[in-house]
């Protein structure tokens, strides 16, 4: 599904990602974990075709990643990308014109689930509600790859757990691969099949979550604390 081979990326002469390699399988949920500035976001942007590696190669479904890979990759940015004069409904309609795989029925279901007012202007939304809208726009797509960069940033901790559980209803596990880059582990641990720890632009460890629990008796959070100690 996704293959990253010996990929490096620099910004201003400083390495953001350095010689990383990994493969991600169809139908799994992966967690990219690590401290801020570790290279998680840069890796997701390269898979999404938003920035390009200085060396190495990235393929999605056997296709070399370029700008047009957006047809197969739904990317949720940590940053806002809204038109402030739009309403929530306007933003949904605009996204539907940009992506042929945008499912309007699913978008409306997600709006109700996220408890968003479709008539509300985006400039009037709180940071948490803008975060919910970004999840709606991403999960409404049926793209084979979903990349979520800090998807719960700004969300009230009291509602994160319910939203995480709800996400399970809107992911097609037979067809989609999901990658979640985050440093917030508690809420998403129940979702993950595998975790990839990134630090200083390099992959420092990879674990199957079920094996981690059964063989080592550790939660992902406990494992993460040891890795980044």
Cα–Cα dist 160/127, whole Å:
14
pLDDT digits (tens, 9 = 90+) for 31-53: 999 888 899 999 999 999 999 99
* Residue scoring higher pLDDT (155 or 85): 85
- Report residue 193's pLDDT band, with 50, 70 and 90 as the boundaries: very high
Quickly list H helices, the chain.
Answer: 40-47, 88-98, 104-114, 127-139, 157-167, 209-216, 220-227
Percent of the chain with pLDDT over 90: 61
Tell me what the mean pLDDT of segment 200-222 comes to: 92
**30: β partners:** 179, 194
Say if residue 187's pLDDT is above 80.
no
Give this prediction's pTM: 0.93
Write the CB contacts of 145 (distance below 8 Å, at least 6 apart in sequence). Answer: 1, 2, 47, 60, 72, 73, 74, 176, 177, 178, 179
The answer to whether 210 and 217 are in contact (CB under 8 A) is: no
Say if residue 196's pLDDT is above 80.
yes
Say if residue 197's pLDDT is above 90.
yes
Domain 2-227, architecture per CATH: 3-Layer(aba) Sandwich (3.40)
């Amino acid at each position: 599904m996704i293959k990253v081979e010996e990929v490096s990326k620099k910004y201003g002469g400083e390495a953001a990602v350095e010689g990383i390699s990994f493969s991600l399988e169809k139908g799994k949920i992966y967690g990219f974990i690590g401290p801020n500035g570790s290279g998680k976001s840069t890796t997701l942007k390269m898979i999404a075709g938003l920035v390009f590696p200085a060396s190495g190669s990235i393929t999605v479904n056997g296709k070399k990643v370029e700008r047009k890979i957006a047809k197969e990759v739904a990317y949720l940015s940590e940053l806002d990308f809204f038109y402030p004069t739009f309403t929530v409904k306007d933003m949904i309609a605009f996204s539907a014109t940009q992506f042929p795989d945008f499912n309007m029925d699913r978008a409306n279901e997600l709006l109700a689930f996220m408890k968003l007012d479709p008539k509300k202007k985006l400039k009037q939304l709180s940071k948490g509600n803008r975060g919910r809208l970004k999840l709606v726009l991403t999960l409404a797509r049926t793209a084979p790859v979903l990349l979520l960069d800090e998807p719960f940033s700004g969300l009230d901790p009291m509602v994160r757990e319910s939203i995480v559980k709800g996400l399970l209803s809107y992911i097609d596990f037979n067809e989609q691969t999901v990658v979640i880059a985050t440093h917030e582990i508690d809420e998403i641990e129940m979702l993950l099949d595998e975790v990839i720890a990134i630090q200083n632009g390099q992959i420092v460890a990879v674990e199957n979550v079920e094996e981690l629990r059964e063989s080592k008796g550790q939660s992902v959070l406990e494992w993460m604390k040891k890795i980044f100690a």
